[in-house]
Structure 1
Amino acid sequence: MKKIKNWMQLGVTSILAVGLLVACGTAEDTPEEATTGADDVEAEAGDEKKSVLVMGTSADYPPYESVDVTTGEIVGFDVDIAEYITSELGYELKIQDMDFNGIIPALQAGRVDFALSGMTPTEERKKSVDFSDVYYDAQNLVVFKEEDGLSSVEDLAGKTVGVQLASIQEEAAVELQEELDGLTIETRNRVPELVQELLAGRVDALIIEDTVAAGHLEANPGLVRFAIESEGETGSAIAFPKDSELTEPFNEKLQEMMEDGTMEELILKWFGGEEQ
């Protein structure tokens, strides 16, 4: 019996030894395979990051950017500029729509690579992001109901003025508020919302860029406007995260567009030939 017991113990020991060897082999092989898979995924992500650029915009600002009601696509002056430059530089373009006041935070957080949204490169914004050269200049208008008979910024005293949140027009309204007694400011995320507020009588006037106001004035014959004299920064530029490697090549392409007539063609296409 003792001999049988010894043989049984030897057999069990052998089985355990073989099992350990197999287990060790599997443990060595598995991490190697897992590491290779992770490297592949990382490489693919890296390739995509290099080939696709994400543009942030607020698609409520025609003719700069808006949603085509027929196709659902975002189209406009800024979109054409972005498509041209990214194509020239060998990138694919992805557009991300968001509220205007979310664009700079999105750039700072790295959720978008650049932004084209009719944005003026103010000194305050330059503290948070970098800008390209100005690619288009325009003017602010006060838009109001014709029956209200406003004729100058002084007439805005005691009135409620609507502006887009975080826009250069909001800054203009704040400056006017310091000069005019009783001027109240209402902000909304999107320009069409502001126009509806004006038509409904919940605000007395709007401050909007002239090229953007044009379509709303045409669609609403009862609305009229007058221009505001500009003293600060004007014009639109492309915004980038601080120290972005894209700023210089984008600037070079903007310059080429201005020199070879491409920019003029896009201005004629989107602004009806009224170059500012």
Structure 2
Amino acid sequence: MSRRTIPATLSLVALAVALAGCGAGGDGSGGAAPAAPAEPPAVAADEALAALVPASVSADGNLVFGTDASYPPNEFTDTDGTTIIGMDVDLATAVAQKLGLTATFENSQFSGIIPGIQSARYEAGISSFTINDERIETVDMISYFSAGTSLAVAAGNPEGLTPDTLCGRAIGVQSGTVQAEDVVARSEACTAAGQQPIAITELQAQTDVNLALTANRIVGMLADSPVAAYAVTTTEGAVEVVGEPYDTAPYGIAIGKDQGQFAQAVQGAVQALIDDGTYAGILEKWDVSNGAIPTAEVSS
């Protein structure tokens, strides 16, 4: 499952700084930040879906999303350090357009997004949230992607690592993620079996975990599958992913409860984008097509 399955009370940093030789950077790569891919074409509004959006949301013509822009390629900042880009951003922009609205994005600590939806600061949240029972007690969620956990290592896998052979090794994870829980559980299993515990490096930003790997301060990292795959493509061959993702689960767009047919409007917009090929184009742009789902569903 995603890094985003942990309860929303946990704090994450909101913004990753640019990765360079002397620090951690905005593309999460451990190398120079690539230029953002071209913008996808605008999407035509669907009047029937737009009519389902409550007036409290549509009145100003904007759909305000909260996001934690520190998780490339899903949501992160462009080379200017301020513009928020990514797969989630492109998809949310297209959803808003389908509903006759303009998407705007506010960078937030991850822990503040769902409370921000509940307080009406944000009208929606898109930030690699995994749909789980705890979340749908407080928000409705519309599925749009599937992700698992991947193990990324130095190119060539010199340590011969797999997710089940991490005992005694230096492994990095981002704080407040399912991977942080996973690596602790794996370490406890190591000691229960009489082996050395995992040497865990837990950092606030995923970009810092990526940098620790490329700088050889750790020998592997556990992260969401699209994030690990993106690190491979942006480190000039320094990183590779071992095996297949595990514990896959859907991401969801979060919206407030008790908002009439808003959830159905968002679900209809995502499904329309899937059906007309816009969705596939966005995923292909960010090289995350293996996370595509055929059907958007509402969890409430």
Q: 3-state DSSP class of the match of 2:79? A: coil
1:261 aligns with 2:270: no
Distance in 2 between residues matched to 1:95 and 1:89, nearest whole Å: 16
Q: Which runs of 5+ in 1 are unaligned?
A: 1-45
Question: How much has 1:207 moved relative to structure 2?
Answer: 0.8
Return the structure number with greater relative CO, CA threshold 8 A, min gap 6. 2
Distance in 2 between residues matched to 1:107 and 1:162, nearest whole Å: 31
Distance in 1 between residues matched to 2:251 and 2:76, nearest whole Å: 16
Root-mean-square deviation (CA), in Å?
A: 2.8
Question: How much has 1:250 moved relative to structure 2?
Answer: 0.3
AA aligned opposite 1:97: N
Q: Who is 2:75 aligned against?
A: 65
Question: How much has 1:270 moved relative to structure 2?
Answer: 1.8
Distance in 1 between residues matched to 2:171 and 2:129, nearest whole Å: 20
Q: Do 2:57 and 2:63's aligned partners in 1 also have CA atoms closer than 8 Å?
A: no
What's the TM-score once normalised by structure 1's chain length? 0.71
Q: 3-state DSSP class of the match of 1:61? A: coil
Cα 1:138/1:269, change in 2 over 3 Å: same
Distance in 2 between residues matched to 1:49 and 1:168, nearest whole Å: 37
Higher helix share: 1
1:211 aligns with 2:223: no
Q: Do 1:53 and 1:93's aligned partners in 2 also have CA atoms closer than 8 Å?
A: yes
AA aligned opposite 1:79: V
Q: 3-state DSSP class of the match of 1:152? A: coil
Q: Do 1:177 and 1:183's aligned partners in 2 also have CA atoms closer than 8 Å?
A: yes
Residues 42-67 of structure 1 deviation map (CA, whole Å, 9 limit, x = unaligned): xxxx7986532220112122222221
Distance in 1 between residues matched to 2:185 and 2:270, nearest whole Å: 32
Distance in 2 between residues matched to 1:264 and 1:156, nearest whole Å: 35
Q: Who is 1:145 aligned against?
A: 154
Distance in 1 between residues matched to 2:244 and 2:190, nearest whole Å: 14
Q: Who is 2:33 aligned against?
A: none
1:164 aligns with 2:179: no
The structure 2 residue matched to 1:101, chosen from 99, 108, 111, is 111
Residues 204-246 of structure 1 deviation map (CA, whole Å, 9 limit, x = unaligned): 4211122222232233333232146534x51221112333443
The structure 2 residue matched to 1:125, chosen from 132, 135, 142, is 135
Q: Do 1:140 and 1:227's aligned partners in 2 also have CA atoms closer than 8 Å?
A: no
The 5 A counterparts of 1:164-183 are 164-181=174-191, 182-183=197-198
Q: Do 1:106 and 1:112's aligned partners in 2 also have CA atoms closer than 8 Å?
A: yes
Question: How much has 1:115 moved relative to structure 2?
Answer: 1.1
Cα 1:144/1:71, change in 2 over 3 Å: closer
Q: 3-state DSSP class of the match of 1:63? A: coil
Q: Which runs of 5+ in 2 are unaligned?
A: 1-55, 192-196, 293-300
AA aligned opposite 2:255: F
Q: Who is 2:96 aligned against?
A: 86
Q: 3-state DSSP class of the match of 1:110? A: coil
Q: 3-state DSSP class of the match of 1:166? A: coil
Cα 1:186/1:107, change in 2 over 3 Å: farther
Distance in 2 between residues matched to 1:273 and 1:48, nearest whole Å: 31
Distance in 2 between residues matched to 1:244 and 1:180, nearest whole Å: 47
What's the TM-score once normalised by structure 2's chain length? 0.66
Q: 3-state DSSP class of the match of 1:208? A: strand
- What percentage of residue pairs aligned between the two structures are identical? 26
1:241 aligns with 2:256: yes
Larger Rg: 1
Q: Do 2:151 and 2:221's aligned partners in 1 also have CA atoms closer than 8 Å?
A: yes
Q: Do 1:60 and 1:192's aligned partners in 2 also have CA atoms closer than 8 Å?
A: yes
Distance in 2 between residues matched to 1:131 and 1:121, nearest whole Å: 7
Q: 3-state DSSP class of the match of 2:252? A: strand
Cα 1:225/1:72, change in 2 over 3 Å: same
